[in-house]
Amino acid sequence: MDDQKYQQAQRRAHMFKAMAHPMRMYMLEMLQDRPWCVCEMADQLGMDKSVASKHLSQLKEAGLVSDTKTGTRVEYRLAVPCVLDVAACAESSVLMNRKRLLGIG
């Protein structure tokens, strides 16, 4: 594998690793509808603000979300909406394949 292809594979793996947690996927889905500040999102999800902030930081570091700071308020936005389309497409395909393999439907 050449260096450029390997670097591409690393970037993709990093992005998918950031999405590889159910809470982070749920947060991405929340951000699809509108921007959220950390405190509102943490409250909505019933978790400590520091935990929500950690998850959002991982998504930001992977380039999937962006943030805007106003004083102490940090508001997050979905930077790459197509990742949810990719996830939905993959999920649908996997479910269809499972049904086919099991002879269901």
3-41 pLDDT per residue, tens: 999 999 999 999 999 999 999 999 999 999 999 999 999
Higher pLDDT, 97 or 54: 54
> Is the overall model pTM greater than 0.85, yes or no?
yes
Confidence check: pLDDT of 105 > 70 = no
> Which parts of the chain fold into alpha helices (H)?
3-19, 22-33, 38-45, 49-61, 82-102
Considering only residues 105 and 45, tell me which one the structure prediction assigns the higher pLDDT: 45
Which domains does the chain possess? 3-79 (1.10.10.10)
**What was the pLDDT predicted at 5?**
95
Per-residue model confidence (pLDDT) at position 98: 86
